[in-house]
């Protein structure tokens, strides 16, 4: 029997095959979707033992017991994403926020409720940390101050790079070296494992809003943490009791999305880089933000009316979210980062003039035509 070994093939090849290596032997091509909420067992004693094991956060790949606890289709996506991020394990949730919440709850429950946050972060992430809703506290610091903010009760350093919405980049290697052994969680949603694998740079956990590039088509919501097996156990324990499990259909769609992730990200990034270059020369654009790392997100400040600009697009869709095959544009101060108060937004460097563009797979000339006509219309 021919099998695909993780080490024998390139990363791009693994993006296509990860999580599916057993399919041919099963006589299948597409991964099966298991929608069972419960699983029959005539061996109550064995079933009880498995449930105890799941409650302790273990998942040995054996038979499931209940759909809130584990699911074979979701497990395929978790295994694939873990492989692509270079992690021992991954734990999937119903959304990126559910995934982040599980990380916070795990650290709060372990008696390490102090979080060190590096701004900017996605607005609701910032709000979750700042509000202390899950029993945590937060200290906001610049990356180079993070290590000196650590105490015996620090549970996590939270950073996003490139960051939502300013695309600010952090030297992850320097940050993780300085903060060790305190765990560093990197939100890798914008970069994706195509452009950056934070665990190889010393991060402890990688967070994805899988809704974005991993899904890639704007039709599936999910979140996932890639980490070592020890953290994965804590996260599964939290998911067991909070019920934030990813739906199996979402697991299927996310696994399907991974296969095209490298080509989607590279194609959209090339277009985004060109748009960033053109925007920098546009008379109504005062500042362009585009990561050194590349990627398909471009943000810019405009002397035009940013709200009118977002309303004036035709081909591009005025909407929050990102990472879809089609381009989306939005005004962070009004929408994705609205929940932060004005002082926090200022601290994060988010200007009221900032517009965030998620570049899709359309032709660059069509996108440029739409952007320039919208910029021309958007008078203050």
Give me the residues that bind ligand MET (CB under 6 A), please: 122, 164, 209, 320-322, 335-336
From the CB of 370, what's the least distance to ligand MET, in Å?
19
DSSP state of 5: -
Distance in Å from the first CA to the final CA of the chain: 67
3-state SS, 161-229, equals CCCCCCCCCCCHHHHHHHHCCCCEEEECCCCHHHHCCHHHHCCCEEEEECCCCCCCCCCCCCEEEEECH
Residue among 92, 268, 273, 85 at smallest CA distance from 186: 85
Catalytic residue among 34, 39, 53, 68: 68
Nearer to ligand MET, 122 or 213 (CB): 122
Nearer to ligand MET, 14 or 356 (CB): 356
Q: How far apart are CA 53 and CA 156, in angstroms?
A: 26
From the CB of 358, what's the least distance to ligand MET, in Å?
8
β-bridge mates for residue 354, sequence order: 301
CA-CA-CA-CA dihedral for 247, 248, 251, 255, to nearest 10: -160
Report yes or no: 187 and 156 within 8 Å, Cβ to Cβ. no
From the CB of 92, what's the least distance to ligand MET, in Å?
17
From the CB of 336, what's the least distance to ligand MET, in Å?
4
Residues in Cβ contact with 124 at an 8 Å cutoff, skipping those fewer than 6 apart: 97, 336, 339
Q: Which pair of structure tokens corresponds to residue 228?
A: 């070592």
Instruction: Judge whether 187 counts as a catalytic residue.
Output: yes
Instruction: Judge whether 212 counts as a catalytic residue.
Output: yes
Nearer to ligand MET, 23 or 307 (CB): 307
β-bridge mates for residue 93, sequence order: 223, 245
Nearer to ligand MET, 276 or 322 (CB): 322
β-bridge mates for residue 300, sequence order: 288, 355
Report the b/e string of 31-61 with b at 16+ CB within 10 A.
bebbeeeebeeeeeeebeebeeebeebbbee
Instruction: Judge whether 228 counts as a catalytic residue.
Output: no
Instruction: Judge whether 20 counts as a catalytic residue.
Output: no
From the CB of 244, what's the least distance to ligand MET, in Å?
16
Q: How far apart are CA 193 and CA 90, in angstroms?
A: 13
Nearer to ligand MET, 178 or 265 (CB): 265
From the CB of 313, what's the least distance to ligand MET, in Å?
16
Catalytic residue among 21, 59, 187, 353: 187
Q: How far apart are CA 33 and CA 35, in angstroms?
A: 6
Nearer to ligand MET, 159 or 179 (CB): 159
Catalytic residue among 14, 212, 284, 345: 212
**Active site positions, annotated:** 68, 122, 187, 212
């Amino acid at each position: 029997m021919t099998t695909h070994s993780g080490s024998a093939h390139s990363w791009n090849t693994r993006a296509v095959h990860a999580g599916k290596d057993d399919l041919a032997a099963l006589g299948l091509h597409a991964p099966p979707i298991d929608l069972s909420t419960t699983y029959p067992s005539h061996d109550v004693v064995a079933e009880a033992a498995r449930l105890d094991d799941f409650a302790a956060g273990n998942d040995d790949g054996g038979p499931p017991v209940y759909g809130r606890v584990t699911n074979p289709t979701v497990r395929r996506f978790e295994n694939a994403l873990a492989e692509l991020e270079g992690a021992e394990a991954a734990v999937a949730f119903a959304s990126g926020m559910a995934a982040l919440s599980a990380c916070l709850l795990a650290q709060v429950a372990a008696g390490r409720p102090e979080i060190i946050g590096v701004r900017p972060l996605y607005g609701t992430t910032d709000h979750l940390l700042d509000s202390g809703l899950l029993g945590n506290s937060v200290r906001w610091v610049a990356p180079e101050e993070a290590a000196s903010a650590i105490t015996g009760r620090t549970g996590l350093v939270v950073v996003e790079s490139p960051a939502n919405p300013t695309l600010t980049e952090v030297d992850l290697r320097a940050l993780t070296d300085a903060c060790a052994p305190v765990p560093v969680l990197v939100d890798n949603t914008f970069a994706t494992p195509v452009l950056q694998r934070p665990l190889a740079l010393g991060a402890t956990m990688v967070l994805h809003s899988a809704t974005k590039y991993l899904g890639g088509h704007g039709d599936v919501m999910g979140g996932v943490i890639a980490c070592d097996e020890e953290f994965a156990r804590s996260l599964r324990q939290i998911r067991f009791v909070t019920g934030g499990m990813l739906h199996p259909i979402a697991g299927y769609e996310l696994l399907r999305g991974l296969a095209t992730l490298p080509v989607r990200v590279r194609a959209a990034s090339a277009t985004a880089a060109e748009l960033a270059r053109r925007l920098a020369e546009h008379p109504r654009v005062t500042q362009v933000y585009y990561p050194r790392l590349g990627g398909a997100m471009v943000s810019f400040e405009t002397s035009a009316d940013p709200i009118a600009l977002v309303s004036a697009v035709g081909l591009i869709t005025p909407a929050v979210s990102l990472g879809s095959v089609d381009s989306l544009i939005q005004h962070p101060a009004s929408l994705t980062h609205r929940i932060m108060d004005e002082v926090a937004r200022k601290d994060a460097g988010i200007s009221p003039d900032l517009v965030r563009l998620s570049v899709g797979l359309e032709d660059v000339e069509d996108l440029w035509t739409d952007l320039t006509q919208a910029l021309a219309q958007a008078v203050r």
